[in-house]
Amino acid sequence: MMPLITGQLIASQIHPNVVDWYNRVILNGGAAPSPQTMAAVNTFYGDLITYQLDGLMHNVNCFVPDNLTAALTPLIKVAGSGSWMNANNQFSSSDLSINGLKGNGAQGIGGAEYYLVSSTKYLKTGYQPCSAGNGLLGLTVYTTTTSSLGKDNAFFACAPAGYTAGDDALFGTSTGHRYDNPSWLGRSYIDTGLKIGYLSGNRTSTTRNDIYYANSTTAHTAGTANTSTYNQFTHTLELWVFAMNYPNNASFPSDIRLSFCACHNALTTAKSVLFYTAIQRMRQNIGGGWV
């Protein structure tokens, strides 16, 4: 049973779904999240309800700083795993800070694309893009560092061999960011440099991709949209974080630090503005992981 939380709120004031997350953290072997974290996450969940975003969410992870288990336990798990798998047990508590969880972009064999080494740090979410049904999906991350790799690196991605059955990928590149859905031909871009902050890629219709960006110094902005032909996902690969699942091998590994990840229904510009507002407030209430 959740203990009384003093100074900020009491247990009876916490949304049942946030209580469920708290209990799952402990069930997964982690220490109880702090009262400050609980208050921040509870406010965030309340914002999702107020902004009518809660019903759009499939799997949401806030990468809270309390402990590694808490950071790998998603707040919302309508689809996907209730605990993101620490592949090869490579992530440790030293990779987690108030600003989020950091990948290592470990390089291995295969040239520019494939890095099939055991030291690559990435997470398996259990979330399959095909589970959304109509394929009008969105992926959102909050980055607090830029990549030092100077090449494409996957924040949140999966793709079948040859990219023939639809891929869903949010990428950092050497010049900016991009979102691929349903294939690399369907890219949309934030193409004005290596930005940090809120980044959201969305398949907003059967003929359009949109990508959005924001942080505390740049107002919510839409990047270059793409009007490629829509194709339904025909594979059952799961999304990985900090690397692309291609297929069942970690490619395009990333060395960025993430403070938030979410899989959801596609967001319009108006919904994305509200989502950014909720995430930014949550990370500010936690005390880090925002820019």
SS3 letters across the chain: CCCCCCCCCCHHHCCHHHHHHHHHHHHCCCCCCCHHHHHHHHHHHHHHHHCCCHHHEEEEECCCCCCHHHHCCCCEECCCCCCCEEHHHCCCHHHEECCEEECCCCCCCCCCCECCCCCCCCEECCCCHHHHCCCCEEEEEEECCCCCCCCCEEEEEECCHHHCCCCEEEEECCCCEEEECCCHHHEEEECCCCCCEEEEEEEEECCEEEEEEEECCEEEEECECECCCCCCCCCCCCCEECCEECCCCEECCCCCEEEEEEEEECCCHHHHHHHHHHHHHHHHHHCCCCC
Q: pLDDT per residue over 201-255, tens digit each?
A: 888 877 777 889 899 999 998 877 777 665 555 567 888 898 888 777 777 888 8
* 75-93 mean pLDDT: 88
214 compared with 106, residue with greater pLDDT = 214
* 36-49 mean pLDDT: 97
Whether 44 and 64 have beta carbons less than 8 Å apart is answered as no
Scan for tokens 């390089």, then name that residue: 107
- Per-residue pLDDT for 270 more than 90? yes
Looking at residue 165, what is its pLDDT? 46
Looking at residue 196, what is its pLDDT? 87
* CA pair distance 108, 77, nearest whole angstrom: 32
* CA pair distance 150, 53, nearest whole angstrom: 35
Looking at residue 203, what is its pLDDT? 80
The tokens for 117 are: 């080494």
Domain boundaries, the chain: 11-286
Reported confidence tier of residue 115, pLDDT bands at 50, 70, 90? low
* 64-86 mean pLDDT: 93
* 268-273 mean pLDDT: 97
Looking at residue 228, what is its pLDDT? 63
- Per-residue pLDDT for 118 more than 80? no
Looking at residue 154, what is its pLDDT? 74
> What is the residue-averaged pLDDT of the chain?
81
Looking at residue 257, what is its pLDDT? 94
Looking at residue 184, what is its pLDDT? 46
Q: pLDDT per residue over 136-151, tens digit each?
A: 888 899 999 888 776 6
CATH of span 11-286: 2.60.120.200
Looking at residue 6, what is its pLDDT? 46
Reported confidence tier of residue 268, pLDDT bands at 50, 70, 90? very high
Of the listed ranges 42-46, 81-85, 87-91, 137-141, the least confidently predicted one is: 87-91
